[in-house]
Structure 1
Amino acid sequence: MTETGDRGPVHPVVRAAITAAAARFGFSETPRLDAELLMAHALGTSREAMLLGQLNDPAPDGFAALVERRAAHEPVAYITGVRDFWTISLAVGPGVLIPRADSETLLEAAVDHFRGTSGPATILDLGTGPGTLLFAALAEWPRARGLGIDASEQALEYAARNARQLGLAQRARLERGDWLAGHDERFDLVLCNPPYVETGAPLSPEVRDWEPAAALFAGAEGLDDYRRLAPQIATALAPGGVGCIEIGAEQGPAAAALFRDAGLRVNIRRDLAGHQRCLVATS
Structure 2
Amino acid sequence: MPIFDIEGGPLLVLVRGIWNVALLSAFGTLAFRVVVAPRTLLRAPQDVVQPVERALLRLSRTSLAAAGLLLLTWLWLQSAEIAGSASLASLRAVAGGTMFGHLVLLQLAALAAAAVVLGRGGAAARRWLTTGLAAVATALQAGHGHALAMESGPSLLLGAGVLHLLTAGAWLGGLLPLLLTVRVAPARTGAAAARWFSPLGKWCVGLMAGSAAVQFWVLIGGWRGLIETPYGWVASAKLVLFAVLLGFAWINRYRFAPRLLGPAGEASRPHLIASIAVQTGFGVLVVLAASLLSSLPPSVHEQPVEVSSATR
TM-score under structure 1 length normalisation: 0.27
> By percentage of residues, which structure has more helix?
2
TM-score, normalised by the number of residues in structure 2: 0.25
Q: Which has the higher strand share?
A: 1
Q: Which structure would you say has the larger RCO, counting Cα contacts within 8 Å and 6 or more residues apart?
A: 2
